[in-house]
């Protein structure tokens, strides 16, 4: 197993020094699923707070841009693209988030943060209808670029 880079030789947390790395194009895509009842799904278009999916999309994009503020050891990245897409399915809403940059480190955390915050926003805007809504299956789908190469789930 590789050594964890977010810890120094004494075991203390640290921000990884990426200054020697070259800027390269990096992308990532992440997934989340918001499981909800058919009644809550049917009520999405008439939500009195507004369109939960439109608000969740913007929340996810904003969250990706603020990832370094939320995750202590993440680098601040110049994002060149963030997108959040949602598909309504029979048992909930599938969230797919993508992020891209040309930088010294990857955008996996930005894509994951976008997917999770979009899912949380859907929950927030529908929780009055049912407290049993679940956020599930948050994971990285793929990443490209960087020293470790490409990954696809």
Q: 124 catalytic, yes or no?
A: yes
Residues in the chain: 153
**What's the token pair of residue 64?**
């990706």
**Can you name the residues that pair with 97 across neighbouring β-strands?**
30, 84
Residue 46 token pair: 């008439």
CA triplet 18, 75, 124: central angle to 5 degrees? 155
Set 124, 130, 137, 150: catalytic member: 124
Q: Where are the beta strands (DSSP E) in 53-130?
A: 79-89, 92-103
Question: Which long-range CB contacts under 8 A does 69-73 form with residues at least 24 apart?
Answer: 70/113, 71/109, 71/113, 72/13, 73/6, 73/13, 73/14, 73/15, 73/16
Active-site residues, by number, are 124
């Amino acid at each position: 197993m590789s050594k964890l880079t977010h810890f120094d030789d004494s075991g203390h947390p640290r921000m990884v020094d990426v200054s020697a790395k070259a800027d390269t194009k990096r992308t990532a895509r992440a997934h989340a699923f918001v499981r909800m009842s058919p009644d809550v799904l049917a009520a999405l278009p008439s939500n009195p707070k507004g369109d939960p999916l439109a608000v969740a999309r913007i929340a996810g994009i904003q969250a990706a841009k603020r990832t370094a503020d939320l995750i202590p050891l993440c680098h601040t990245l110049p994002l060149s693209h963030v997108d959040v897409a949602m598909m309504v399915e029979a048992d909930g809403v599938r969230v797919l988030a993508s992020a891209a940059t040309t930088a010294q480190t990857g955008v996996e955390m930005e894509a994951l943060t976008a997917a999770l915050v979009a899912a949380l926003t859907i929950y927030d805007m529908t929780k009055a209808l049912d407290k049993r809504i679940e956020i599930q299956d948050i994971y990285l789908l793929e990443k490209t670029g960087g020293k470790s190469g490409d990954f696809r789930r």
